[in-house]
Structure 1
Amino acid sequence: MGGVFRRIGAGIGLGAAIALSLALPAGAAEPAGTAAAAPGIVRADVEDFTFSSVHVDYLLSRDDEGVGTATVTETFVADFPPAQNRGMVRGIPTGYLGAPTNPEVISVTDEDGDPRPYETDTEDGLLRVTSAVPEGEYAEGSQTYVFTYRVDNVARAMDNGVDEFFWDVFTTDAPQPVGSFTARIEVDPELADALTGDAACYVGGAGSEDRCDMPRAGAAFETAPVALDPPEGVTVAIGFEPGTFTSFDASFLASPWGWAQSAAAVGAVGTAAWAGVVRRRRLRDDPGRPTIIAEYEPPAGVDALTAAGLLGKSGRAIPAEILEQAVGGSLRIVEERGLLRPKLAAELVDPGRADENGLRVLKGLFGKDLPIGKTFTFGKSSSRFARAAQKLIERTGAQITREWKRRVPAGVVLVPAVLGLILGGATFAFGIVAMIQFVTWFPTVPLIALGFALIFVTIILVTRRPLNATGAEVRDHLRGLEEFIGWAEEDRIRMLQSPEGAERAPVDTTSPQQMLVLYERLLPFAVVFGQEKDWAERLAVMYGSDSPTWWAGSGAFNAAAFSSGMGSLTASAASSSTASSSGGSTGGGSVGGGGGGGSVGGV
């Protein structure tokens, strides 16, 4: 179980790694109190130094679970120029062939075994171990750094049918030359009998198949000294009998993070289902009408703006309100000639005919003074109109909430919302750690997406205020009005002539004037329901060769242009009431083929 807990600990460490920067940039100003560089010395890049020698020792073994492990001691003798470097950094790979290496730093010392200060961080698949003197000081001349660390999953089954320790004992990513490099790999006596006798050493640039000497002495292998120029490295391959090492199991349920993610996902799904039950039972609207009854008049005291807010169609609220003011006589719609197609504008006629909501819209369009005859062209952005529209929509929404919605105990909403946030977030976070720990992508990645989505689903399900009985009645009345507007003309006439219709508000269906007044009054509500085009076409037929008093065309009245203009007015009015954010200032084997390697450099 030790390997499992190490992997858990490494996962946590990788997920919480802190980025550090200890390098002193070339040419940086000297801190106060620091001796200046000697005259004539040009400050170079911190990578501009050499290693007189590098020696690495590997003790290769396996843990109780059969995982190949190595304890590594690397001795770097660096030659630093004056006043340039504060130390060096060693990058240790955190993965190898889809398995985590879980690097664990044991110590960083000098040649005498005295500890050197160091810090670690993870970056680009490396555990970076940085040993540096304090700011304002320099490591100069010959400096020895001894890095001792432990890594897992260093040996595994290969495609050639045997298990191998196939490892980059010196990286091809080092920008410094090495005067003399040697490596010694000692095999644990427990594994000595499993050696196949096959071993190889490769030297050179990445992909090189050039061999280097690596004689065997008992259960140990030691390379002959070689000089390395950037970007040359050294890779060793030592064969073991098949089954000597336990390969890393990347399957989902082999990882504790997979189990943790699964449990969190199940909890998140259950919470979302609970939120659905809460939505259905505790947050549903009060009963309205058992059946929808067709209506040809809006609810008493409810204008088109309020209807749009109640039905959740706030994007249509302002266009509907503008048309309501036009039909009521406070303004009229003017069709102006445009370069490619006509443009629509509003002209102030009589603000005294506007209701409270209408006055707010008129002031947004024409300003507080409301000068009669002033025009506003739709389609352009207007911050004044946008502010007035937004404030009116918010005010109407608050009124609807206050009068037509009921309160729900806070716990009914907060408990599933918070639990969904925690469990959905845990599903997401555990999945990320599992991926860092090289767990297979399926089902890890889909569960990450699911956890993220369930957070929003749960919150959306429980964040609503249900309608009370009065609000539900108004909603169903509006649905009846929508049904009436959507009927064929014969059905509307039949309904108006029925005993029930005649009792509500007698309408003489043979009187074109009465029918026109009725249909005009419903045009703003047709906009709310998205039926303005069909309703405008019907109105155009009723107007015949006449033009409505609230509409002024650029030429003779045209029924097709009128009905088309109603649709474009809705879009233009909506865009005009949206604030602009555009601003206004204009302006076989080979070197590098194994695990290990990593990077080295200066700071």
Structure 2
Amino acid sequence: MLPAVIALAIAPAFLILGLGFVARAIAAQRVTGLVVQYAPQRGSTVLHDALLVDADRRAASAMLIDLAVKRKVRLLAGSKREPIGVAVLPNVVFTADELTLLEALFGPDHTPGRVRRFSSERRALTGRLRTLVQHAEHALAREGLIAPRRTTWPGVTLRSLAYVGMLVEALLIVFALIDGDGAALGLTLIALAATIATIAVTPASWRRFLPPARPRREHLDGLRQYLELAEADRLRMLQSPTGADLVPTDGEDPALARYHLHERLLPYAVLFGLEREWIRQVKLEHDELVTRDLDLLDVVDVLPDVATALDAAGGAVQLTAAVGDLVDGTGAVLDGVGGIFEVFSS
């Protein structure tokens, strides 16, 4: 029976597993920024950049943090009975994407000062956020940055083969048990494990980035590299010699200018999954500024508000649950802002 197991189970299982890894590597479409970047490109948005780095799952959380950092909204702590809320600040103008996000999460009423709580209608919320991501995909496609349709055939093909393989392997397991062939049973179980791994490894679909997207994606990777250098001493040595955001104006304290730059990068730290490391750096700068001059407390008060509000949610998983079952365009669950608040409030 061993030849049959090798031919019908082991060889096909490891072949499709290998193809699954190939599909995963192709889907990643990795790029490497040759220059460390210190700020997002002018005219870019957190939502579009999230899609360009395949961070759909973190887009909504990053956008919400971006609104708070831009002083457009204020996040408010919730409780067990009352979910996290947001208060729109006066005299602010929202972009179309920002309005769509707020309407998806909180409904259409954005009167300044009125507190809105996360929607509890999870099914409706899921659909609205899926629409937000899909509209962003259409916009990137119109710009010629991504293909109009996602690539689906490799995932469908390999997963279908995996399911067929599992059926064959189940039959071989039965025959091996009947024959009492331990070696055949062991090899079949190994093949079954490889087949299950294929389903886990193979992406169901992916967006295809076109050549014009490469410069923007390289810029974002350069920004990721900067965010990874979150240690305070290294950051102080890596200030941009030409970055306008780091040049204080009208007598502004250079430390305050640096703080505001790093604060504005918080949404991107969320996109890259580097929020824990980055928030520690910004917290150090925040504490340093407040210690030096208490008059700066109102100028640098965004992070404590954000931290306090989302710490009440309990972090990433709890924030996602508070917002609802957030999904991207393919139905994947969206991540919350993992760990920012535990770190900042510690």
TM-score (norm 1): 0.43
For 1:362 and 1:351, how far apart are their aligned partners in 2? 16
Asked if 2 retains the 8 angstrom alpha-carbon contact of 1:264 and 1:423, the reply is no
2:52 corresponds to which letter in structure 1? Answer: L
Query: Contact 1:284–1:467 at 8 Å: present in 2 too?
Result: no
CA apart distance, 1:397? 4.5
**What is the rounded CA distance, in whole Å, between the counterparts of 1:451 and 1:531 in structure 2?**
36
- Partners of 1:411 and 1:394 in 2: how far apart? 16
- Aligned residue among 254, 262, 266 for 1:519: 262
Residue 41 of structure 2 is matched in structure 1 by: 299
Shift of 1:298: 0.9
C-alpha distance in 2 between matches for 1:530 and 1:567: 17
TM-score when scaled to structure 2? 0.69
C-alpha change, 1:444 and 1:395, in structure 2 (3 Å) is farther
**Residues 83-127 of structure 1: per-residue CA shift (max 9 Å, x gap):** xxxxxxxxxxxxxxxxxxxxxxxxxxxxxxxxxxxxxxxxxxxxx
Residues 535 and 335 of structure 1: is their aligned pair in 2 closer, same or farther, counting only changes over 3 Å? Answer: farther
Structure 2 residue 271 is the aligned partner of structure 1 residue 528: yes
Contact 1:332 1:349 in 2 (8 A): yes
Opposite residue 246 of structure 2, the aligned amino acid is V
The letter of the residue matching 1:370 is H
Matched, 1:434 2:175: yes
Displacement, 1:418? 7.1
Where does residue 56 of structure 1 map in the other structure? Answer: none
Distance 1:474 1:362, change over 3 A: same
**Larger proportion of strand:** 1
3-state secondary structure, aligned to 2:265: helix
| Cα distance in 2, alignment partners of residues 275 and 529 from structure 1 | 24
> Could you tell me how far 1:358 is from its partner in structure 2?
0.8
- What is aligned with 2:218? 476
Q: Distance in 2 between matches of 1:432 and 1:405?
A: 45
Alignment of 1:37-436 (within 5 A): 253=1, 258-265=2-9, 266-277=11-22, 285=29, 288-289=31-32, 291-335=33-77, 344-350=84-90, 352-377=92-117, 381-383=120-122, 385-397=125-137, 399=139, 403-406=144-147, 413=154, 417=158, 420-421=161-162, 424-425=165-166, 427-435=168-176
More helix, by proportion:
2
Percent identity over the alignment?
18
- Contact 2:145–2:213 (CA under 8 A) maintained in structure 1: yes
The runs of 5 or more residues in structure 2 that have no matched partner are 327-346
Describe the SS at the equivalent of 2:202.
helix
Deviation for aligned residue 1:386? 4.2
Quote the residue 2:244 is aligned against: 505
Match of 1:437, SS?
A: helix
Distance 1:334 1:410 in 2: 40
Contact 1:536 1:563 in 2 (8 A): no
Residue aligning to 2:198: 457
The alignment yields a C-alpha RMSD, in angstroms, of 4.2
From the superposition, tell whether residues 309 and 408 of structure 1 become closer, same or farther in structure 2 (CA, over 3 Å).
closer
* Post-superposition CA distance 1:311-344 (Å, at most 9, x none): 33333221211111122233112346x589x985
- The 8 Å contact of residues 269 and 454 in structure 1, kept in 2 or not, is answered as yes
Change (3 A) 1:578 1:446: farther
Distance 1:456 1:297, change over 3 A: same
Quote how far apart the aligned CAs of 1:414 are: 7.5
Check conservation: 2:146, 2:208, Cα contact below 8 A.
Answer: yes
Which of 475, 485, 502 is the equivalent residue of 2:227? 485
Task: Give the drift of 1:448.
Answer: 4.0
SS at match of 2:237: helix
Q: Partners of 1:327 and 1:469 in 2: how far apart?
A: 32
Displacement of 1:297:
0.9
Give the match for residue 334 of structure 2: none
Question: 1:538 & 1:331 partners in 2: Cα distance?
Answer: 24
Counterpart position of 1:67:
none
Q: Which has the larger radius of gyration?
A: 1
Match of 1:353, SS? Answer: coil
Q: CA deviation at 1:393?
A: 3.0
Q: 1:538 to 1:318 in 2, by over 3 A?
A: farther
CA distance in 2, matches of 1:531, 1:411: 29
Partner of 2:341: none
Q: Is the 8 A contact 1:406 1:467 kept in 2?
A: yes
Q: What CA distance in whole angstroms lies between the structure 1 residues aligned with 2:101 and 2:170?
A: 48
Q: CA deviation at 1:361?
A: 1.7
Specify the SS of the correspondent of 1:347: strand
The structural deviation recorded for 1:347 is: 0.8
Q: Which amino acid aligns with 1:507?
A: L
Cα distance between partner residues in 2 of 1:550 and 1:452:
52
For the residues of structure 2 that align with 1:408 and 1:306, how far apart are their CA atoms? 16
Cα distance in 1, alignment partners of residues 150 and 89 from structure 2: 49
Q: In structure 1, what residue type is equivalent to 2:195?
A: L
Amino acid at match of 2:7: A
